[in-house]
Amino acid sequence: MLEPRRESAARVHKAGYAKRSTKKKKICRRAKKRAPTILQDLYVSCTEVFKGPGTVPLHHDVKRLCYILDNMKPEDLWLSGEHPFFNPRAEVTGTPGVTYTVIHKCDNFSLFIFFLPATAVIPLHNHPGMTTSLTLPARPRLANRRADSILTAPCNTSVLYPTTGGNIHQFTAITPCAVLDVLGPPYSDEDGRDCSYYKELPYTSFSNGETGLKNEEGGCHAWLEEIMVPENSLMTGVEYSGPQVDKRSR
């Protein structure tokens, strides 16, 4: 926030009390009407950062998005602990389903919120055309696990790049949680960017009795085999009811 210049304040002061008071009210009303929300800041930044399929945002542009996301709070999206997705009335047997809502989606990026009840799972899946090749062989492929961590809110934004060897991941909710997902470019069946699911096979299944393979960063290797949609991948879409973005301000 910029601090007003001292000479400007002095000139206003010379205008007289009554005139200064009236003018100040008008300026405040205009500022309040035009002031962007943090969600609006995110939307506008996404329109400037994401340039469509086949492009990777520059590092400083990603940092720009992270700065906005790191400062977002649940209330910025009208979410609270009283949200019905966090407090289901009926007890669910087995793995509960995941609910999602779309804040915005266009050709270059999408903004989604995923609601995961406790123990809910978004199974191991990929992002074809976004982070991996569009044409992958059906045979199992060797993968390197780069991270296996517990994220506790509030936490910093997780960034997954296509240039670090692919992006296949899974989410498991320990407690009820919401995940704000920014994708660029978004999934698109028409453009061949549909989601595929995988199961993990032990590294020893395809190695000559070796116990596993460690890399220098402490990760480990496993074989991933593409499978049909898992039974625990039930996802239900609902209408977005949070604050709206102004698409005219692009």
Give the chain's length. Answer: 250
**Letter for the amino acid at 28?**
C
* Residue 164 belongs to domain with CATH number: 2.60.120
Tokens of residue 29, six digits: 């009303």
In a domain, 4, yes or no: no
pLDDT score for 164:
60
Question: pLDDT band at 154, cuts 50/70/90?
Answer: confident
Looking at the 3D structure of the chain, how many domains does it have?
A: 1
Q: What residue numbers bound the domain in which 160 lies? A: 38-242
pLDDT score for 194:
77
In a domain, 73, yes or no: yes
Under DSSP, is residue 116 helix (H, G, I), strand (E, B) or coil?
strand
Q: Does residue 124 contact residue 170 with C-beta atoms inside 8 Å?
A: yes
- Average model confidence (pLDDT) for the chain? 74
The DSSP result for 151-210, as a single string, is: --SS-PPP---GGGS---EEEE-SS-EEEEEEESSPPBTTTTB---EEEEE-GGGTTTS-
Relative to beta strand 235-238, strand 98-105 is: parallel
Helix (H) or strand (E) holding 143: strand 141-145
pLDDT score for 213:
46
Interval 57-103: pLDDT, tens: 889 999 999 999 999 999 999 988 777 777 666 666 777 888 999 99
pLDDT score for 55:
84
Using alpha carbons, select from 80, 89, 105, 91 the residue that is nearest to residue 178.
Answer: 80
Interval 25-49: pLDDT, tens: 443 444 344 345 999 999 999 999 9
Tokens of residue 122, six digits: 């978004």
Rounded to whole angstroms, the Cα distance separating 5 from 13 reads 13
Q: Which of 159-163, 204-208, 213-217, 242-246 has the lowest mean pLDDT?
A: 213-217
In a domain, 58, yes or no: yes
In a domain, 228, yes or no: yes
Q: Does residue 181 contact residue 114 with C-beta atoms inside 8 Å?
A: yes
Backbone angles phi, psi at 181, to 5 degrees: -115, 125
3-state helix, strand, coil in the chain (%, to 5): 25, 25, 50
118-138: average pLDDT: 72
pLDDT score for 89:
64
In a domain, 7, yes or no: no
- Nearest-10 crossing angle of helices 59-70, 38-49: 170
Question: pLDDT band at 217, cuts 50/70/90?
Answer: very low
pLDDT score for 53:
84
DSSP class of residue 111 equals E
Interval 1-25: pLDDT, tens: 323 333 322 323 333 333 333 344 4
Does position 183 have pLDDT exceeding 70, yes or no? yes
Interval 141-152: pLDDT, tens: 787 777 788 888
In a domain, 126, yes or no: yes
124-151: average pLDDT: 72
Question: pLDDT band at 110, cuts 50/70/90?
Answer: very high
DSSP class of residue 89 equals S
In a domain, 172, yes or no: yes
Measured on CA atoms in the order 124, 125, 130, 133, is the torsion positive or negative? positive
Question: pLDDT band at 188, cuts 50/70/90?
Answer: confident
pLDDT score for 125:
86
Measured between alpha carbons, how far is residue 130 from residues 38, 62, 79, 226 in Å? 26, 15, 29, 17
Q: Which of 100-109, 136-145, 154-163 has the lowest mean pLDDT?
A: 136-145
